[in-house]
Structure 1
């Protein structure tokens, strides 16, 4: 392909008025200044027109008569020319077809790679779907197993919560005695006194089964609880002494140097039974102290009156 004179010989791009370019002196072709690997001094000489611009082909095709020095005494210098590498970068016939073939091969290889990647992606999607189904199935089975286990644990707790030992008298009561045998009624005429009253040997022993059962149940209960609680005819009634009733209050915003002994001494000076108990409360603040004070119920009204306990102190109970 022959290069156009309006295009650069090296990069094959269009020449514009804003870009600096040089024209060959022999063939008339143009080239960008940025595409020439010359020094700035040579480029300035070329732009000023002091030396001609020739390429390798122009130098090869130039007749030998042009190398003769001019008669007017001008300085003869070898004009700069394009190197073989720069000339080889110029477009040659058949380069476009070769580039198209290479581009076509690249596209085919890319399509083959894309098809392989598509197959792998589809296989991975199917594998992910299968694993997701297995995960959901396993999670459902685990949830069912956990629910069943929780039910078993709940039933076991209920079973363990029941009393282990039961009294035999409630679960295994004594069997009721059989009814006494009745004499047969005579079918021949009127009954006589002999047939109406059978001999004493045939009659069962008279036993009061109801009273016997009650006595057995009473014996069992007496063995379980020996002390007769609630009996009003005995002097062996057990009594538990009751602790004196106490009430408490909190004292806060006291001086940080105040101790529990000081508060106890102050409260005992007011109450009459000396029943005050004071405990200092732990706090992260060091600017004041707090206390827990407990007194008897009779003295609580006196202690709860702030004017009687600490009429001039900064702390007030609440």
Structure 2
């Protein structure tokens, strides 16, 4: 391949690879950003769904909770004496709250929470004493808000009270949101679940656009290969044409003028072949042939009725057996057959994969 064409081909491949890499990197960054935004939306929807699910259980079991003496409870809240009084405006005071659970008289201390959060923990404990967290209700709320459902759901024991849900994200190209939420924090009971983070509709369209770009790049690469192949074929054809024209110019050169007395005729069949004159005579008919054809006929006549190999003819007449010269040999044999057609006793036959033979019948 020509060095200039090779350089153009290399630069084109590098440019297409760079375009592909940049678009893939851009799409990956868009995916990361979209996943982050979607995860925040799901976190907010989960927090609301947890609160709504608790309210549904409160409304459904309100009569049982307050009228059944077996589940009545007294929870003592004591604010630690050593609480730091934070006087900043609109900022709740954080403290340690001690719980005394009913029946078991179990004492529990939760540090660094405010009164609102303490009441929230109490509320979850009271609701869970009547009925545990309902996954089906939560799934329905989450599906209504985000169109997704939970997976890998289970109840677990924890070693701390979680006032708010705890979230974490894992995964590479397929991201998953892991959720842990204390449904009964004073009994250290929580739920764990996973939520797949779906691709946004915009990102899906971007993915299709990326796939289409890949297809277009492949088509462009194929077209470039086809163009380069065409250029190489055209260069080869031009080289063959140039060699062929050079041969034809040589063959059209006529020998120096000589008289019949100075020439010796080679008799083949009923035809006289004047090698020096490039002339064939059959009766009253005279045919002028080219110098190259005269060389070919001389070799074939010297080996009358014998096969002469193509390589021998090419080396003797053209000097090498290149592809262009081989094509020229085929053409010159055709011209010789036309020149000898008036003599029915002579014929030039091709022997496949061997060469040619001049036959005298």
Note whether the superposition's TM-score is higher than 0.5.
no
TM-score (norm 2): 0.21
Hey, which of these two has a bigger chunk of strand by percent? 2
Hey, which of these two has a bigger chunk of helix by percent? 2
TM-score (norm 1): 0.23
